[in-house]
Structure 1
Amino acid sequence: MEQAEKLQQLRRALDEYAAGNGPSLFDPEEEVAKAAVRKRALGLLDQRARSRHELTERLLQAEFPAEVVARVVDDLAEVGLINDEDFAFEWVRQRHARRGKSARVLDQELKEKGVDAATRGAALKQIAANDEAAMACALAEKKARSLKVAPADRAESDKALRRIVGVLARRGFAQGMSLRIAREALEQRITELRD
């Protein structure tokens, strides 16, 4: 097909579209409806990354129509602004490194955000068991350093131990591991204070 013929076909198609006889490239009414939802979604994504489920729930809570929300979320996923795998990986990486959260707690947080089990499992693989134990040790040692005077008796020692275990428990570390690590950190701190 020659270039002149292609240009003529294009002109005919444009003329038909302008006359309202051609196929609609987009629905103006739908675009208006999606614009408000898209604006709110982009505002939420600007604050922080979100899972598909979490973003959908937030938009529905803002009382946008469910079918419009679904189309906007699909559009955002199609262009890569929503990706549960990337979201889960970053959530685990950041919250483990910055907040000292255990894999168990991170798994629960991702579950609450609507991330499926396979995606959660893949994201949690980045936390090795020895990394988790090292994080627990660092947190226990930090809390133990807040002890400025060696406990005078068993009651004071138990109180200090409970505080250290509490730090680990709030971050979701296993009870047995938390108690062992807390005892070691407390004993080390008491030895430092007595020397």
Structure 2
Amino acid sequence: MKSGVITAVHRDNKQKQRYHIDLNDEYAFSVHEDILVKYNLFKGTELDEAFYREVLVAEEKHKAYLGALRYLGIRPRTKSQLHAYLLEKGFLPDVAEEVCDKCQEQGYINDEAFARQWVEERLRLKPRSSYMLRMELQQRGVDRGIADEAVRAVTREDELAAARALVEKKVRRLQGPPDRDDERKILSLLMRKGFSGGVVQQIRGELRRMTGEQG
């Protein structure tokens, strides 16, 4: 571990918020401007090994935090997704956990809000059954209780509307009214998508009425 006196501070030519620090006339490390100011890393400042270690840890956490903000700025994420992203970028688990907690405290991640928004947008843009919505949320690391709460807001009418939207897409591709083979394929699709037996049966009746059949 290095120690000594800061003899020079150089601003990076490309990344204007990064600075290169020389200790005893030799390059030692680079830091973000925020860390530079926080730890008073200017010419003449003396660093012992403990202080040096503290600065490097702070820089690592700050780097992870800025990376997290960029990642979250693309679209909403769950805490689990952010944690996995930071690990993938090479940050240590305890750093990833601390940054996730910080982002959560600051409101940048909120699994409850994520789950509610996910359900609302899926129902509007990509209709799904309650079962599929719950599975999708859990696959993204949302706690089962939070997923259940978000999906609980989905009514039977919401599920029927989602099922009908899927059916309409399939029917539009047909040459005419759905025949029995088309009906079987459509109902099988709904079952694979996790729609309940009651919803599937209601859709079956609606398909039959399209063709003028009863029952």
TM value normalised by structure 2: 0.66
1:72 Cα offset (Å): 1.0
**Residue 208 of structure 2 is aligned to residue 187 of structure 1:** yes
Q: Which amino acid in structure 2 is aligned with residue 64 of structure 1?
A: F
Counterpart for residue 24 of structure 2: none
Alignment length (residue pairs)? 165
- The 1:177/1:50 distance shift into structure 2, 3 A limit, reads same
**Displacement after TM superposition at 1:44 (Å):** 2.0
Question: What is the CA-CA distance between 1:159 and the residue it aligns to?
Answer: 2.3
In 1, Cα distance between equivalents of 2:132 and 2:183: 22
Selected match of 1:125 from 141, 152, 164: 152
Distance 2:64 2:141 in 1: 20
- Which structure is higher in strand share? 2
Which aligned pairs between 1:83-98 and structure 2 lie closer than 5 A?
Answer: 83-98=110-125
1:82 to 2:103 alignment: no
Deviations 1:38-95 (A, max 9, x none): 2322222122211111211121122211111111111111111011111111111111
What secondary structure does 1:50 align onto? coil
Residue 69 of structure 1 pairs with residue 96 of structure 2: yes
Contact preservation (8 Å) 1:49, 1:87: yes
Question: Larger RCO: Structure 1 or Structure 2 (Cα < 8 Å, ≥ 6 residues apart)?
Answer: 1
| Aligned counterpart for 1:29 among listed residues 56, 70, 77 | 56
SS at structure 1 position matched to 2:194 = coil
RMSD over aligned Cα, in angstroms? Answer: 2.7
The unaligned stretches of length 5 or more in structure 2 are 1-38
Counterpart residue type for residue 117 of structure 2: E
1:53 to 1:150, Cα distance in 2 relative to 1, 3 A:
closer
After TM superposition, the structure 1 stretch with the greater mean CA deviation from structure 2, 79-88 or 53-62, is 53-62
Tell me which of 116, 139, 159 is aligned to 2:181: 159
Counterpart residue type for residue 61 of structure 2 = K
Closer/same/farther in 2, CA of residues 150 and 132 from structure 1, 3 Å limit: closer
CA separation in 2, counterparts of 1:48 and 1:166?
A: 33
Question: Could you tell me which of 193, 199, 203 is aligned with 1:171?
Answer: 193
Q: 1:46 to 1:167 in 2, by over 3 A?
A: farther
1:34–1:68 contact (8 Å) kept in structure 2: yes
Q: Please give the alpha-carbon distance, in whole angstroms, between the structure 2 residues aligned to 1:144 and 1:188.
A: 13
Return the offset for 1:99: 0.5
Identical columns (%): 33
Residue 135 (structure 2) pairs with residue 108 (structure 1): yes
Give the structure with the larger helix fraction.
1
| Unaligned ranges ≥5, structure 1 | 1-16, 152-156
8 Å CA contact retained: 2:115, 2:150: yes
Letter aligned with residue 91 of structure 2: F
Whether the 8 Å CA contact 2:79–2:111 is kept in 1: the answer is yes
Query: C-alpha displacement at 1:103, in angstroms?
Result: 0.9
Change (3 A) 1:106 1:127: same
Displacement of 1:183 in angstroms is 2.7
Aligned equivalents of 2:177 and 2:113: distance in 1?
Answer: 46
